[in-house]
Amino acid sequence: MEYNYEKLPQANQIFTFGLISLILGFLGIWCYAAFFLIFAAIAGLILSIIAVSRAGKAKKLYSVSPDKYATVDISMIKKGKTLGIIGLILSAVAIVSVVGTIMNGILNGFSHSLR
């Protein structure tokens, strides 16, 4: 007996975006002192949002007819969404810490100029 399952659209892309966003989020947190890595955190934030939103759409498509798609694809989508959520959190923390550091420097400079 042979089954011909269709692939869920963008299953591999969702996993890849989630994984890359996780890596960029780690880079943004570990190296937030290097200003240029804020762009890595921003890119990680964008990719994680894309991964999470596409995963939601793919899960809806799967829920309509689960017998039509392979279970491997839904597993990839769940993993990609999880990685995307973690990447979203890490990227957000990195961005907030860099912005906080910049604001701290600006406010300290401003307070020293008032003396």
Establish if 5 belongs to a structural domain.
no
For residue 2, name the pLDDT band (cuts at 50, 70, 90): low
> Which range has the worst mean pLDDT, 1-5, 6-10, 34-38, 53-57?
1-5
Residue 98's domain comprises 11-106
Residue 1 maps to a domain: no
Whether 60 maps to a domain, the answer reads yes
CA distances from 57 to 24, 47, 84 (A): 24, 15, 14
| Cβ-contact 19, 82 below 8 angstroms | no
pLDDT computed for residue 71 by the predictor: 85
Q: How many domains does the chain fold into? A: 1
- Residue 2 maps to a domain: no
pLDDT of residue 38: 81
pTM (2 d.p.): 0.84
Q: Share the mean pLDDT of the chain.
A: 86
Residue 115: inside a domain: no
> Residue 35 has what pLDDT?
67
Domain presence at residue 41:
yes
* Residue 4 belongs to some domain of the structure: no
**Residue 6 maps to a domain:** no
